[in-house]
Amino acid sequence: MTTLQAQFEKYANFGASPGSSSGGPQITLSNIDKWFKQANAFNKKLSTTDTGIHFGKLKQKKINFADFNKFLEDLTSTKKIDLEEFKQKLTDCGDPGTSGATKTVKAGAVDRLTDTSKYTGSHKERFDETGKGKGISGREEQSSNDGYVQGYKEKDSYDKSH
Identify the structural domains of the chain with CATH numbers, from first to last.
4-91 (1.10.238.10), 109-139 (no CATH)
Residue type (1 letter), 82: D
- Among 65, 94, 66, which Cα is nearest to 2's? 94
pLDDT of residue 14: 82
CA distance 152 to 26: 69
Residue type (1 letter), 65: F
Is residue 14 within 8 Å of residue 100, measured between CB atoms?
A: no
Residue type (1 letter), 33: D
pLDDT of residue 71: 92
> What is the model's pTM?
0.56
- Among 90-94, 122-126, 129-133, 149-153, top mean pLDDT goes to 90-94
Is residue 39 within 8 Å of residue 31, measured between CB atoms?
A: no
* Residue of 135 and 114 predicted with greater confidence: 135
